[in-house]
Structures are given as structure tokens and as C-alpha cells.
């Protein structure tokens, strides 16, 4: 019943902690983000819930395999992207697929379909619930390092093609073995948010904010 009296130092620590309390409201951008997530959850309500905890339990057995697969897929994917540009050196950034010549965007008529004509195809990037943040960082780093300015949307599954995911570059992924779309939101300053959607679901399943630049 009787707890030991707090020492003066402990009392001071408590005072310092109380003084460091955060009193400001949730920032507007976080409110907006969570509102969008909620809206997505509402829209997708009839769909079976995504049990993140179950995913977490399942992940242990495959963490190593998934991580290794991710590295291989990333390496293959970005190597493929750079093949047309001459091997991935920094000087190849502006080269098109047409033989490495400097002909940026010459094959695009300027309409929205043009974006699609620039899309690279390939196998989906493998992500796991266990290593999501790290894998996303590695993905963006590899993407920047690839010096390829082209959007990358490898083989979006049909169930994902019509997902309303908002602005951002879309990337087909396998998340814990399930098909999904990773949306790379437009960078805000030195930060870039990345949202994961699973095919057939309208809600964001995972998000991560990554330092860029």
C-alpha cells in the first residue's frame, strides 16, 4: 500500500516530463490523412478485415525469405529498368528505351495515356509486414539510385487497376503474399509518404514516411 516516497530527483524528473507534454492539436495534415483512411475503411467495410496481427504472426517464418526475395526483385527490377538506359550509370538518366539516345518523352503525345506509355513492367516488388519500413526505404533508395525518371508500375493486377488511391506513383507489390499497390505520394519537402493498398480493399493498410533527397 505504501509506496516509497519519490526522491527529489524523481520529482524533478516528473516536473520536467510534465513540462515536455505535447499540448497542441493533431496537425491538419495528419487529420486529413486519417480522415482519408477512415473514409476508405468506410467504403471498404463489407470486405473482410485485414488482420494485421495475424499477418504479424505469420511473418516470422518468412521474414528471411521475403527479405532475400525483396533484394533480388529490387535488383532485377531496377536493373531491367536501366537496361535501356545503358547500364545504370548516372549519365543515363535521360536516356529513353529507344537505344539510349537522348529522346526524352518523344514517344508521348501529352495526354494522360502518355503516362501509361512510359510505364515499365516487371514483377511486383515483394514487401513484408515485418520489414515494411525498411523495405520501402530500400525501394525508394534503389529507385533514386537507378537514375530512372520513368514511372514504374509493374503489371498491376486487374483487381488493383481500378483502386482509387489518389495522387502518386503506383507500384505493384506483393505484401505478405497478397497483391497490392504501393503509392508513392508526391514528396513534401524532404519527406515522402508511401501508402500501401491491397487489391480489392479501399483502405490504406500500411503507411510509411521516408526521408528523400
Contacting residues toward another protein, per CB under 8 A = 3, 6-27, 30-31, 33-35, 37-38, 41-42, 45, 49-53, 56, 130-131, 133-134, 137, 190-191, 203-211
- Alpha-carbon distance 177 to 179, whole Å? 7
- Residue closer to another protein by CB (options 73, 198) is 198
**Phi/psi at 105 (nearest 5 deg)?**
60, 15
- Residue closer to another protein by CB (options 61, 113) is 61
**Grid cell locating 25:** 492539436
- Residue closer to another protein by CB (options 51, 89) is 51
Tell me how many degrees the CA angle 113-110-158 measures, rounded to the nearest 5. 10
- Alpha-carbon distance 175 to 205, whole Å? 10
Q: How far is the CB of 42 from another protein (least distance, A)?
A: 5
- Residue closer to another protein by CB (options 153, 203) is 203
Q: How far is the CB of 85 from another protein (least distance, A)?
A: 28
- 201 with 47: CB under 8 angstroms? yes
HSE (side-chain half, CA atoms, 13 Å) at 9:
0
Q: How far is the CB of 129 from another protein (least distance, A)?
A: 9
Q: How far is the CB of 148 from another protein (least distance, A)?
A: 22
Amino acid at each position: 500500500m505504501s509506496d516509497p516516497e519519490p526522491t527529489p530527483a524523481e520529482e524533478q524528473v516528473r516536473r520536467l516530463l510534465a513540462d515536455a507534454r505535447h499540448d497542441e492539436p493533431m496537425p491538419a495534415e495528419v487529420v486529413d490523412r486519417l480522415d482519408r483512411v477512415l473514409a476508405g475503411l468506410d467504403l471498404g467495410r463489407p470486405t473482410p478485415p485485414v488482420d494485421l496481427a495475424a499477418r504479424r504472426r505469420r511473418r516470422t517464418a518468412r521474414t528471411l525469405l521475403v527479405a532475400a526475395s525483396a533484394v533480388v526483385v529490387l535488383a532485377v527490377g531496377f536493373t531491367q529498368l536501366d537496361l535501356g538506359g545503358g547500364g545504370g550509370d548516372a549519365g543515363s538518366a535521360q536516356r529513353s528505351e529507344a537505344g539510349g539516345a537522348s529522346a526524352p518523352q518523344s514517344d508521348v503525345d501529352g495526354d494522360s495515356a502518355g503516362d501509361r506509355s512510359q510505364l515499365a513492367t516487371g514483377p511486383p516488388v515483394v514487401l513484408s509486414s515485418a520489414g515494411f519500413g525498411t523495405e520501402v526505404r530500400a525501394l525508394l533508395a534503389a529507385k533514386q539510385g537507378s537514375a530512372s525518371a520513368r514511372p514504374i508500375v509493374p503489371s498491376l493486377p486487374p483487381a488493383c487497376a481500378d483502386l482509387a488511391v489518389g495522387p502518386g506513383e503506383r507500384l505493384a507489390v506483393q505484401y505478405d503474399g497478397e497483391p497490392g499497390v504501393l503509392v508513392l505520394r508526391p514528396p513534401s519537402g524532404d519527406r515522402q509518404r508511401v501508402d500501401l493498398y491491397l487489391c480489392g480493399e479501399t483502405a490504406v493498410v500500411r503507411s510509411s514516411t521516408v526521408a528523400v533527397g
